[in-house]
Chain A
Amino acid sequence: MSRRTQENLLAAALLCFFIGILVLSLDYGPRARLVPIPISVLALILLVSQIVWQNLRPADELHVDMLEFLTRRGVNPGESDRADKEPAAEAAPGKPAAPDIASGFGREAFAFAKVVVFVGLFLALGPFPAAFLFTFAYFSLSRHYHWSRALVYTTVFTAVVYVLFVEVLDIQLYHGLLEPLMNNF
């Protein structure tokens, strides 16, 4: 999927978001919608301008700099931190960018999956068992530590976090969705 398509998809999703906000706001009283409606209308105008603008520019100039346009300010290529975010710029010299994009998507999907797994563990088991399992699995599966060392480090880390949050800060524990099931046994 090209960068332009990705940008357009995101802009379309945001467009839906702002239209949704606008429609919802219409149901509120005049004072409650006094600020949300103008803000969502403004956002819609900005977003439509962005979509039009980014589709009229060449593919390598998708980062539209309105500030540059308004002030005619130039950005030195070396100073731009955008360039290194471009998939093409990340590709090694002489190699096509496509495989990198694919592997980039894979890693991104994996990163999202990790967060989802952690939250799932948190909801099911509660904070400290989730932190213990996630950290131990991460250390072990990434092969950063041998499993025995990973176990020691994870235990120490979990104990420190437990003492800080529960003993020192007196945070009420959440026991997880599985606790009622466990109690049945």
Chain B
Amino acid sequence: MFEAIVGGLTMLLTPQAMLFMLIGVIYGLMVGILPGLGGIVAMALLLPFAYGYETAAMLALLLGAHIATIWGSSVTGILFKVPGAAKSLALIFDGYPLTQQGHASRALGASATAALMGGILGAIFLAVSIPIVRPIMLFLGPSEYLMMALWGLTIIATFSEGSLLKGLVAACIGVLIAFIGMDPVTATPRFTFGSIFLLDGISFPVAMIGLFAVAEMMKLFVKGGSILDRDVTEQRSTVLDGVKDAFRHWWLVARSSLLGVWIGVLPGIGASVGGIAAYAQAVQTSKTPERFGKGAIEGVIAPDATVGANEGGGLMPTLAFGIPGGESMAILLIAFISMGVTPGPQMLTSNLDLVFAMMWIIVLANALTTLIGLAASPYLARLPAMNANIMVPLVLSVCFIGAFATRGYIEDVVVAAIFGGIGYIMEKYNYSRANLVIGMVLAEMIERNLHISLTLYGDSFIFTRPITLMMFIFIIVTTALPFYRNWRRNRAAAPAAGGGQ
């Protein structure tokens, strides 16, 4: 195994592979920053150019671009509340409040460092776990996936401060919006009103562009000034503070990375769920959960570490079984086949040096992205100070073109505008937009796995599958824990207050 690790690194240490990785990373950062376009688009566009070169160089180009898009997406999420891709959604919950408070540099520094640490931990986990992951992967079924999605829903209470009822209503709206289009289980067109465009459903990136970016620009126009709060005239922290934050919360990074790896390993879950799940575990394990959603640095660190580690995990089923761990891994699978490399169990024996080369690409591309990111962060952090008169037309233009570019449908531009209006109204009347998006993300996973679980295991599947039951109890406990903590805190505070009077 050690020989394969060294062999993998040697494959990468060629001028061509290094140059391709650099090109991939810079290109990935650019694509990541554009709203609606994520790693899948970046890899898909590079695919036609990635033939006729060294295998390691082609993989460095594709994976390097994909990894860099992750941090690129985080940048706009933190600075403008415009998540570049679905997987960076959780970054806006605390990243944007940090920007408003003048801590954009710190948030970007923490984000880049957490992504790097997550990426490295994910790669190490990939290397270590190759022999043990396979049986565990095969052991988990749709009912366990369903429980994981339900666990993601427990986060809703966090974003409902001010009105849990409205927060739950928003989540219901999100779930129902996700059902627009062809039902994948029964092939029934739902809520399409005969429209062919709606058969494909509402594009998630387009909805996000509308809900957050367009709505935020409308809000900025109404408010005037700039994104930064009026009393914040300069940055109150540095990139280095963010780097230190990521190291200070090393245990959170480790937990989130492990979560990211597992979500990557399980096919069909996707990093967008991973980011939300990471945020949920950060809130639930925090001693001060009330800080979340108002600019807690842990709310930036946890999702970025998870998404960074997700790539290592996603490679596992792709390489070992030929089952893509996510959409981007499906494109990588196409690249493998066109290079004459056949993924499957033999990949872990006959092509082990290539597997480790990919592990090294994840580590090096993450390091390169972080270096570039940390260097650029102080300049990027100045962007939110731009006046609304400049910001609104520029961001709106890029957002609407991005919405169109997502699928090439002109109707998506109208959808983005409609969601912009919905987002503005929701923000004004305190219906959580975050809950709507969480409902949208998890709805399909919940419905699909519920159907499969009912078919495979019967109506009482929760009680007949021990792991499902354990996960169900875990969900109930983690949901009840914040309520219990508050009850205990208030109980402890009541005699003190009474004594004081």
Chain A residues within 8 Å of B, Cβ to Cβ: 6-7, 10, 14, 17-18, 21, 24-25, 28-29, 31-32, 34-36, 39-40, 42-43, 46-47, 49-50, 53, 63-67, 70-73, 75, 79-82, 85, 104, 107-108, 110-112, 114-116, 118-119, 122-123, 127-128, 130-131, 134-135, 138-139, 142, 144, 157, 161, 164-165, 168-172, 174
Contact A169 B45 (CB under 8 A): yes
Min CB distance A108 to B, Å, is 6
Q: Across the interface, do B162 and A104 meet the contact criterion of CB distance under 8 Å?
A: no
Task: Name B162's contact: one of A6, A82, A118, A170 (CB within 8 Å).
Answer: A82
Chain A residues closer than 8 Å to B404, beta-carbon distance? 122, 127, 171, 174
B190 A28 Cβ-Cβ under 8 A: yes
CB nearest to A40 among chain B residues: B176
Closest Cβ–Cβ distance, residue A64 to chain B (whole Å): 5
A108 to B482, CA, bound (A): 37
Decide yes or no: A169 and B37 within 8 Å by CB, A31-B186, A35-B179, A35-B450 being known contacts: yes
B414 at the interface (CB under 8 A from A): yes
**B286 interface residue (CB < 8 Å to A):** no
Interface string of B406-439 (1 = CB under 8 A from A): 0010100110010011001100111000000000
Name the residue of chain B whose CB is nearest to the CB of A10. Answer: B429
Contact of B490 among A72, A108, A128, A169 (CB under 8 A): A72
- Encoded as 1 (CB less than 8 Å from any A CB) or 0, chain B from 183 to 221 comes to 101101011000000000000000000000010001101
Residue of A nearest to B416 (CB): A119
Q: Is A85 a contact partner of B31 (Cβ separation < 8 A)?
A: no
CB distance from A84 to the nearest CB of B (A): 10
Instruction: Give the shortest distance, in Å, between B475 (CB) and chain A (any CB).
Output: 17
> Are A81 and B394 touching (Cβ within 8 A)?
no
B37 partner residues in chain A, CB cutoff 8 A? 169
Contacts of A36 in B (CB 8 A): 176, 179, 190
Tell whether B487 is near chain A: CB-to-CB under 8 Å: yes
**Contact across chains for B401 and A131 when beta carbons are under 8 A apart:** yes
Chain B residues closer than 8 Å to A65, beta-carbon distance: 161-164
B483 within 8 A of A: yes
A123→B490 contact, CB < 8 A: no
With A29-B186, A73-B490, A127-B404: A144-B214 Cβ-Cβ less than 8 Å: no
Q: Which of A34, A64, A139 contacts B389 (CB under 8 A)?
A: A139
Chain B residue at smallest Cβ distance from A137: B393
Of the listed stretches B76-84, B167-175, B253-261, B343-351, name the one at the interface; the rest are far from the partner chain. B167-175
CA distance A73 to B164 in the complex (A): 13
| Chain B hits for A130, CB < 8 A | 397, 400
A32 to B447 CA separation, bound complex (whole angstroms):
10
Q: Contact at B392–A165, with CB atoms within 8 Å?
A: no
In the bound complex, residues from chain B placing their C-beta under 8 Å from that of A114 are 218, 221, 392, 396
